[in-house]
Structure 1
């Protein structure tokens, strides 16, 4: 395995400073992942008797066991779940929405980070540290997770998607797709993947994840179990009904201290803004920071005095009604982006949360909310980042003297033009420029002299000059295009570089699905990333396939 780390500046300033200049974000987080003493202190605090509310550990193990059996997780993962029965067991938790066929590559990298950190800190602390992947099945934005992107042989970024089965605005985990929809998606994926020695095995794995009217969440969980179960990754869907029952006491607290919750979030937002950053998530003064399932939809609640209602006021609840729901039918409630971290910490003894840059930024808004409920924000660890670089693409980069930094820092077009200019032995640009300059030099004085005859004749001359120049430039463009056609193969190679590293003007890991790489190279590269110690240091890494 050959990898090269480098600093790819994060678009989210707060996350960039948290990773590269942590002193600037002091006070916004409870710990820092680069400080080994913080890991020791967090582990000790989780072991102590403290006022933090905690879910029943034995019931949590039962829920995890049932869910992971249902999605077909592997014996190694079941052993990790059993380890949670130990009083001193801790967890590394990270999560993502349930993407089609595994979603973008960054999802795989988040799982790899969780597994890596759990193994590392289990060895350092000499106690169980269990890797847990939290599937955000309660999210209702179907359009965010119903598709994937692949790079076709024609060098087009192709989107493959499944349609919403009902049109209702409810959790992805409550939307089973019909078998024919899965069949169509699978056939679409099959068309995009080249025939390789690994294809049959990959397609068989995917087929096993979508038997019957399966939801995207269930299929995603089954696929993640196929990829990571042997490495002990424990899976849980945030919308699992049995988990909701376990969350009832925390939902009760979120309802009863709802005004205090909003106040704490607003306070943290002030701290974030005072430190010079923009708040990554909206914090509404009347926001309940909870969703409710009503009328077949997942609706965000707002607080009006001592009542809670959705935006259209179709459903209204008193605090007592919402409190009773929390205790008797907690499956009717759902967390938003601000309360999910709190619920996660209530359920699990979270040593560290593995987050992407955007998540790091909005978690900064929750520090006071954790403290409100007697908790402490866990250590925030940035997920590992990679760009997969194939040998063919590397060969092209060397051939045209284009570096990764050239593409990332938007010097690609300049480098491409330099290459084309170097091939221009006819010097078309210079010769056409000289012709236009020579023509203007001879024609302009003549046009100016026409004013003595008649201003209208001069105007006609100016128009005539512009049209002749336009015709010269038309010929220049046609000649340039024809000349470039001679270098069509080189242009395709240059375009392959850009589409590999920065498709859709985004990092590769945020766009492409992992199936294309598994199909082309098998799972050895994933195994290498999972088993080779890689520092969780906030750097981006090029992994040469």
Structure 2
């Protein structure tokens, strides 16, 4: 396995500037993780504000119960024992739970989190543990209920888990029946090609879903099976036990909601003034807080001193909300802009691992951290890869293709290559035939028009029909050429489907199970030996 950098254009302008020109956007963030002084200052700030966060022993206790159910390896228990001790810091990464772990970038985010914690511990000379924040309180089922693999015939295949009937609940709150797990597992088994590792992979997957009540449970079990041995702690943001510890911070979010709203709006205005697009909505009156009502997750808005959802199903005064919070903290849930603040209250976060889209919207809460007495953690770009299997690499060399060629689309190059296989120069000769025919026939048609006007129109129609017939034969000849080169064209198609499925980066589409089925569970151990890189540079893994 060889690894080579492959810089990619595009992405959020704000995220690119964070990565490449931090000095130009530093006022929108809390410091640069890659800078030793930033790490040291952040660690000192966390040490000095220990009493402003949730009690770490209580947090560790809640996380221990959760990880004992889903992620009980000795290394995770050791990480939790460290977390319980004053002075231990945390590197976090997170994502919504996804079917069979979701797309590859989720795995790469977990890898980055683990490697960054190792490096930070070594550089700071103190314990730093990795933690993966499962966004189980999110309710976008359609975003997480499917995944993609390359099937046995080398095509993109989608596997989807249908949503049970019920309200628009959080992903962790949606019960998935055993029969549904069996259906999607059988679909995956039928799509994966036979390999020496397949029985082990399928057993690994079935074990994760056998005792899973929800998508988040199954996700946690799979992530634990993959990364538990590296000491990765898992946290489900929808865990009711965690909600009780979050109650004081939800109280602050309610009491200081107007100040928080003003902070979000001011920072958003600064981002726009600096020439960047907002990556998350900042709307007037948004409480940036969800309320769980009869199983449904409702976003609250403020109007005339009350907190209500858009449809008016619930409505509370500030005092009423605080009373409910005291009795039922499980009814409250963060949104995309308050989750970073809550994470900083629950954990001593040295840095958090984010994708480029996340890096851009994380700038919005910067001033909101100060409103609640916090400070934005350092931000670390997650590692990014494309896997090129050995056979595909040989085919790319054979046709003179680079990853940049594949990324920009192969249609033009494929046509050029196919034209080069035309030893009879059929394309040129057909065009010459059409030109020669037109040159001979058009003068004759003009002369016919002098005999009778109607013959001119008839002659032109006749000419077009003959040209159509020549073009028809040309098309058939080209089809025959393609059939003659069918095996080669399938190789071109496989390159594109593997590296840029549906025009997207491989890591944003395909699931890791295809690769574990090809190379075994030890493949992940190989990935973990790749040198860490926090520059945001995309890299190619040549198998």
TM range, normalised to the smaller chain? over 0.9
**C-alpha separation in 1, matches of 2:257 and 2:234:** 30
Q: Which residue of 1 aligns with 2:192?
A: 193
Q: Is the aligned partner of 1:44 residue 2:41? A: no
User: Equivalent residues in 2 for 1:496-511 (5 A)?
Assistant: 496-511=494-509
**C-alpha separation in 2, matches of 1:417 and 1:59:** 64
The structural deviation recorded for 1:260 is 1.4
| Aligned-pair Cα RMSD in Å | 1.5
Whether the 8 Å contact between 1:293 and 1:333 is mirrored in structure 2 is yes
Q: Is the aligned partner of 1:465 residue 2:448? A: no
**C-alpha separation in 1, matches of 2:20 and 2:471:** 49
**C-alpha separation in 2, matches of 1:30 and 1:454:** 86
Write out per-residue CA displacement over residues 24-43 of structure 1, whole angstroms, 9 at most, x where no aligned residue: 32311121233222112111
Whether the 8 Å contact between 1:178 and 1:212 is mirrored in structure 2 is no
**C-alpha separation in 2, matches of 1:312 and 1:456:** 70
**C-alpha separation in 1, matches of 2:454 and 2:301:** 70
Q: Which residue of 2 aligns with 1:304?
A: 303
**C-alpha separation in 1, matches of 2:42 and 2:71:** 33
**C-alpha separation in 2, matches of 1:322 and 1:452:** 92
Whether the 8 Å contact between 1:24 and 1:275 is mirrored in structure 2 is no
User: Equivalent residues in 2 for 1:390-429 (5 A)?
Assistant: 390-410=389-409, 412-429=410-427
Q: Which residue of 1 aligns with 2:337?
A: 338
Q: Which residue of 1 aligns with 2:160?
A: 161
Q: Which residue of 2 aligns with 1:520?
A: 518
TM-score (norm 2): 0.97
TM-score (norm 1): 0.97
Which moved further from structure 2: 477-486 or 532-541? 532-541
Unaligned runs of 5+ in 2: none
Q: Which residue of 1 aligns with 2:477?
A: 479
Whether the 8 Å contact between 2:381 and 2:535 is mirrored in structure 1 is yes
Whether the 8 Å contact between 1:148 and 1:161 is mirrored in structure 2 is yes
**C-alpha separation in 2, matches of 1:448 and 1:313:** 77
Where 1:381 maps in the other structure, the secondary structure is strand
Q: Which residue of 2 aligns with 1:269?
A: 268
**C-alpha separation in 1, matches of 2:169 and 2:524:** 33
Write out per-residue CA displacement over residues 84-132 of structure 1, whole angstroms, 9 at most, x where no aligned residue: 1221111000100111111111110000000000000101111111100
**C-alpha separation in 2, matches of 1:453 and 1:305:** 88
Whether the 8 Å contact between 1:73 and 1:222 is mirrored in structure 2 is no
Which moved further from structure 2: 267-276 or 4-13? 4-13
Q: Which residue of 1 aligns with 2:531?
A: 533
Distance 1:23 1:459, change over 3 A: farther
Write out per-residue CA displacement over residues 121-151 of structure 1, whole angstroms, 9 at most, x where no aligned residue: 1011111111000001011111111111011
The structural deviation recorded for 1:238 is 0.3
Whether the 8 Å contact between 2:116 and 2:532 is mirrored in structure 1 is no
Whether the 8 Å contact between 1:290 and 1:333 is mirrored in structure 2 is yes
Write out per-residue CA displacement over residues 187-243 of structure 1, whole angstroms, 9 at most, x where no aligned residue: 111111122221122212211112246200001001101000000000010000011
Distance 1:458 1:182, change over 3 A: same
Where 1:415 maps in the other structure, the secondary structure is helix
Which moved further from structure 2: 2-11 or 96-105? 2-11
Distance 1:95 1:213, change over 3 A: closer
Q: Which residue of 2 aligns with 1:283?
A: 282
Q: Which residue of 1 aligns with 2:378?
A: 379
Write out per-residue CA displacement over residues 334-382 of structure 1, whole angstroms, 9 at most, x where no aligned residue: 1111111111111111111100111111111111111221211111101
The structural deviation recorded for 1:294 is 0.5
The structural deviation recorded for 1:443 is 2.3
Whether the 8 Å contact between 1:151 and 1:158 is mirrored in structure 2 is yes
**C-alpha separation in 1, matches of 2:476 and 2:117:** 60
Where 2:297 maps in the other structure, the secondary structure is strand
Q: Which residue of 1 aligns with 2:2?
A: 2
The structural deviation recorded for 1:468 is 2.2
Whether the 8 Å contact between 2:3 and 2:542 is mirrored in structure 1 is yes
User: Equivalent residues in 2 for 1:115-126 (5 A)?
Assistant: 115-126=114-125
Q: Which residue of 2 aligns with 1:226?
A: 225
Where 1:271 maps in the other structure, the secondary structure is helix
Q: Which residue of 1 aligns with 2:169?
A: 170
